[in-house]
Structure 1
């Protein structure tokens, strides 16, 4: 039987096994509008029952030996390898991914599982000094129940990068994927861990609307919330979690800058810029949203980038060899076109693209911008590359930092100059001689300012900090003497 056989998950959610749902949601192929299936939705009441069961199951899972937990994570990684083609097909059809992006995402998923398989045996404490005649220890313990809320754009990895380390460290997880990608961002993860031998009740798949999102934050058993998505929703979740005294890890939006320094290889820079702006139709928090180019290269770079854009075909990635697939839905498509149209009305020039193409949008280059235009100020989440010139490194730093977001920055050109510029930039990530889209399971990932609450995904230190609590323990050889 296929891992994602429709008969297993159709009109069901995963909570102590596959459970019939009272509500369901159509799984729609964005490129064609075809119906791929019906996924079961949870309710707030389902969440409350799942949270109680998760808290109960978590105690035994946390007590399982480190090698037992590591074995489940390793087996999950193997299953991603064995079922890669099937999972990639779902990412192509449900999420609108081009084939290369789908393969990259599955590769990240199996890497995440193998990386997290090392967490159960990682040192999780330290011996402290003490003025008293005792041992003083600090140890990390599982937080308990973790809620993971994931978006539609990289639905598999953006859910798994919290699910896998949370499970590896002995937590139970409530996973709420975006209903638009509930199979590739939810069913896949549930089925992989089910087949990998994760005990029942430790992982719950709970797709649903905003009431379900609220419930997975407010359930009293939940101690940590890991959210990836838009900044407005992240602010609301952060406020909600703060009121309830729960930790919230928020990975939010970005309007990321690519700086092209004087003397840079223009054709290589344009290739990097096109990749950064157009991968997955620009629907990535790390997408290159602002191209900041030295005035000596501005005209040549804009022309080279426009030529790259014009050569990129748009279409249905399940049936055609295309570079850009569909946007996730019509609402997002209309929003992208409205931002381009408003910017042109304000004086920007379309150097390439600027047109709807079926369910997708043509790779677009905008020039002649000012920094107050919507295409420059907003996170577009579409395949649009605004280009602006600069004259000095100081001016480039000012333009980069003049943004509410601070997730990722790429700098292309002379390394010495790039290093000096990097020291002036407020960003969670800086990539020299690379574009802005980059992620590895062992590297810390996160942003500053409106891009989130800092690095907390990737690498042992960040994951342990995110999904455990610190406990102080002291030990004496005998009962201490007290003056009472």
Structure 2
């Protein structure tokens, strides 16, 4: 990553080859290289946790949690604010790591940092919010419903937006008094783990309250199964989410799942074609389509379909693909070769089934260009499966009711977008399509730290992250009664 910098937050001598438990130590599972998706270069090495590392971390976290939960709320809030300041101060350094490790362009990296800072400030703000309710009781007694921490929360985060999708669970879980054992994806252990460990370490978080253990399936399964971990927050694929739920369910842990899905962007025939095409391109191509809420189905009403498609093709032709560190590209690489093969297989199978390829569809290594498919129908892989790549999959419909039927034809939907100047028509669609969040006159890739975020059906298990939902997820209700003296019962 360049010449050593004594002022850098991520000095190699501190974290290379290690995991974090309040300090930095070698993992029992060994170490693993960090590969830059755009070039194949080795950026460094991280510790690779195994099941024994997870067991040790869970025990240490359980021991450290009571003191953390009992600490003064002002001191806890100050730690989050200091962490946010550190992230801002080291923004240039951290954005370089995010871009290189995730394959995202620099503006995407800078977005992650801004949102990460926002999550930290939101966590600090939680500490002065009401933490329960006063219930009805006789005049000389108190009956209180209050929120209390689970104890130790396990967090498992993915590779695509690793900083945000880690912090959105870690920060509120810590804020309400839990300790955290975190397993970032091995493909992005620095962005999803080391950065977070370093900012909290430097901000003064007590040792043992946060553990960062990059690892594979063994570490993930150990985290879901360990009895000292009372809740698991998982973000990732639906298939792995089912396994997480199965393992956590055996010990009756609470589990929060934010999973993949098939999201529709519906464009009605009274929309502006230029604005519509811009929304399609953003929703389908941002970060190479590697976003859980990407616009995986583009549903165009027949009267506007040709105009929007023409404008989309012009945009696709002008979005350069390449190394994000060059500063001259709009799309970087897909995260690994397996994802390229999977995406290309979906595109080719859909073409064989009758879809028409109008742009893209051929890749250079991990670089997949903006792709446009038309004539897409139910049953084709690009209609049914989550793409996680830069493909605009276009299906034409005639009536609003047909759009509702097409958008609803999925096991799980995280996000829905509807573009139309007619709010009545748009609301008619939104009210009838099951989804985790819906956006009128916008595409599907939207999130705010203060807004509940999650999916419906197989896109999640009903849990949410963000704003008031963080209290629901990362604490549990406790009923507390207080009497001035114990009653004399008749027995």
Shorter-chain TM-score: what band? over 0.9
> What is the correspondence of 1:222-261 to structure 2 with a 5 Å cutoff?
222-261=229-268
- In 2, Cα distance between the equivalents of 1:320 and 1:82? 22
- In 2, Cα distance between the equivalents of 1:172 and 1:468? 12
Matching residue of 2:466: 458
Contact 1:79 1:192 in 2 (8 A): yes
Does 1:477 find its partner at 2:484?
A: yes
For residues 214-245 of structure 1, give each alpha carbon's deviation from its aligned partner in whole angstroms, at most 9, with x where no partner exists. 11111111111000000010011111111211
- In 2, Cα distance between the equivalents of 1:455 and 1:81? 30
> What is the correspondence of 1:113-132 to structure 2 with a 5 Å cutoff?
113-130=120-137
Residue 273 of structure 1: SS of its match in structure 2? helix
Matching residue of 1:381: 388
Matching residue of 1:7: 13
> What is the correspondence of 1:261-300 to structure 2 with a 5 Å cutoff?
261-300=268-307
Residue 297 of structure 1: SS of its match in structure 2? helix
Does 1:301 find its partner at 2:308?
A: yes
Match of 1:135 among 131, 138, 142: 142
For residues 285-318 of structure 1, give each alpha carbon's deviation from its aligned partner in whole angstroms, at most 9, with x where no partner exists. 0100000011101122112112111111000001
Residue 141 of structure 1: SS of its match in structure 2? strand
Does 1:342 find its partner at 2:349?
A: yes
> What is the correspondence of 1:80-159 to structure 2 with a 5 Å cutoff?
80-130=87-137, 134-159=141-166
Matching residue of 1:437: 445
The alpha carbon displacement at 1:445 in A equals 0.3
Does 1:217 find its partner at 2:224?
A: yes
Contact 1:348 1:369 in 2 (8 A): yes
Contact 1:409 1:429 in 2 (8 A): yes
- Tell me the C-alpha RMSD between the 2 structures: 1.1
Q: Which consecutive residues of structure 1, in runs of 5 or more, have no partner in the other structure?
A: none
Does 1:372 find its partner at 2:404?
A: no
For residues 345-397 of structure 1, give each alpha carbon's deviation from its aligned partner in whole angstroms, at most 9, with x where no partner exists. 11110111111034210100100121110011000100011101111111111
Contact 1:315 1:358 in 2 (8 A): no
- In 1, Cα distance between the equivalents of 2:15 and 2:230? 28
The alpha carbon displacement at 1:260 in A equals 0.3
Once superposed, which parts of structure 1, at least 4 consecutive aligned residues long, lie more than 4 Å away?
Answer: none
Between stretches 442-451 and 122-131, larger displacement belongs to 122-131
Q: Which consecutive residues of structure 2, in runs of 5 or more, have no partner in the other structure?
A: 1-6
Matching residue of 1:425: 433
Does 1:35 find its partner at 2:35?
A: no
The alpha carbon displacement at 1:44 in A equals 0.7
- In 1, Cα distance between the equivalents of 2:280 and 2:79? 39
Matching residue of 2:4: none
Does 1:206 find its partner at 2:206?
A: no
- In 2, Cα distance between the equivalents of 1:256 and 1:131? 51
Matching residue of 2:3: none
Contact 2:122 2:449 in 1 (8 A): yes
The alignment's TM-score, normalised by the length of structure 2, stands at 0.97
The alignment's TM-score, normalised by the length of structure 1, stands at 0.98
Matching residue of 1:406: 413
The alpha carbon displacement at 1:469 in A equals 1.5
Residue 326 of structure 2: SS of its match in structure 1? coil
Contact 1:69 1:117 in 2 (8 A): yes
> What is the correspondence of 1:162-201 to structure 2 with a 5 Å cutoff?
162-201=169-208
- In 1, Cα distance between the equivalents of 2:20 and 2:276? 46
Equivalences, count: 483
The alpha carbon displacement at 1:320 in A equals 3.9
Contact 2:257 2:463 in 1 (8 A): no
Contact 1:276 1:288 in 2 (8 A): yes
The alpha carbon displacement at 1:131 in A equals 6.2
Does 1:51 find its partner at 2:58?
A: yes
Contact 1:277 1:288 in 2 (8 A): yes
Contact 1:428 1:455 in 2 (8 A): no
- In 1, Cα distance between the equivalents of 2:329 and 2:261? 26
